[in-house]
Structure 1
Amino acid sequence: MSDIIKNGLIQSDDWQVLRLAEGEAAADAALPAGRVIVPLAVWQARRDELLPKAEAGVLGVWLAGSEDPFALEADLSALQLVAVDFPKFADGRGYSIATLLRTRLGYGGELRAIGDVLRDQFFFMLRCGFSVLQPREGKYTTAQLEAALASLKDFTNPYQGAVDRPEPLFRRQPRTPLQKDAA
């Protein structure tokens, strides 16, 4: 079991991420028992078979940075969990995918960041709409995750609008009109 950050807490998690081996066909992938997050290719190849598991809340789908989130548009209501993979820290396409899922596609379920999820990026991932952060297993100790959670409170009132707070700061702050000098 790996540790995740969900709802502002560190929690143990029993979801498994299925990754296809080199040359393995999506239609032939063996699914492990329990809760599993499958690649988009597996979902597309076996949708009819996997749909009841997704609706039961024991199967989710993950997207690579190169995949189009609109490929899941028709299935989002059945998916309680969608994950976005960050293969390396410098790949920022996952931020755009999360934002599209939340804003244009209206996805309201659990949106999970998986892969190379680094502490320095936690705040920005949450701003883009991720609800769960799942660093690689063993990447951080519990103490390091607790420190990361505490650091998320460093920015109490961000300037820019984002998925988590659409209005920019100047729209959120009440202003009083300027008074002209009566001279």
Structure 2
Amino acid sequence: MPKLIRASGAAFRDEEDAFVTIEDDAPDPGGDIIVSLARYRAGGESLVARPSGRLGVRLEPEDEVETLEGRLSGVDLVALAFPKFRDGRPFTAARLLRTRLGFSGEIRAVGDVLRDQAGFMVRCGFDAFVPADGSTAAIWAEAAGRHSHVYQRAADARAPAFVERQGE
């Protein structure tokens, strides 16, 4: 099984990935699957009602995360694709999923996912990562905890530095 890194608070751990990504025209193999947004929109009810396995939906950067509003019941995971390092749209999608859409399931970063982004991903609401550079959970924990202060609010609810200064 493929590997992934899971975050729980400040703790990171390596895990086996039980989910299988299936193409739009492929049959459902059963078990835990990840489908494209297009496939989910076309057959959402039948996918949610599958007799076994969990359901994940993969969004590409150009996919509108808002199209999932009111349609996240039965979705266990949303995988947000990073096609290249400099594309930041999945950060916004993760924050919208957590704050505006109230999604409490797993938000997974896939694609060109690098540890340099770990802290920012956690702040936006990501809690699982498939690193492109083969790094481990220990390396990700170090990278995510690199900055002790933050300068703006995010999905993680950490107090920004200006709020910390007001409490002096």
Q: Name the structure 2 match of 1:77.
A: 73
Q: Name the structure 2 match of 1:140.
A: 134
Deviates more, 1:2-11 or 1:35-44: 2-11
- Does residue 41 of structure 1 match 2:38? yes
Q: Name the structure 1 match of 2:17.
A: 13
Identity of aligned residues (%): 40
Do 1:82 and 1:112's aligned partners in 2 also have CA atoms closer than 8 Å?
yes
Cα offset, 1:75, TM superposition: 1.6
Matching residue's letter, 2:109: A
TM-score, scaled relative to structure 1: 0.79
SS at match of 1:161: coil
Do 1:159 and 1:169's aligned partners in 2 also have CA atoms closer than 8 Å?
yes
Q: Name the structure 1 match of 2:114.
A: 118
Do 2:5 and 2:15's aligned partners in 1 also have CA atoms closer than 8 Å?
yes
Q: Name the structure 2 match of 1:149.
A: 141
Structure with greater Cα Rg: 1
Do 1:57 and 1:79's aligned partners in 2 also have CA atoms closer than 8 Å?
no
Runs of 4+ in 1 over 4 A off after TM superposition: none
* TM-align CA RMSD: 2.2
Cα offset, 1:156, TM superposition: 2.5
Count of residues in correspondence between the two structures: 164
Runs (5+) with no aligned partner, structure 2: none
- Does residue 162 of structure 1 match 2:158? no
Q: Distance in 1 between matches of 2:66 and 2:48?
A: 17
- Does residue 175 of structure 1 match 2:167? yes
Q: Name the structure 2 match of 1:179.
A: none
Q: Name the structure 2 match of 1:2.
A: 2
Cα offset, 1:43, TM superposition: 0.7
Distance 1:56 1:126, change over 3 A: farther
TM-score, scaled relative to structure 2: 0.85
Q: Give the counterpart of 1:29 among 26, 39, 43.
A: 26
SS at match of 1:125: helix
Runs (5+) with no aligned partner, structure 1: 21-25, 177-183
1:122-154, CA deviations, whole angstroms, 9 ceiling, x for partnerless residues? 111111111111224xx4154xx4223223222
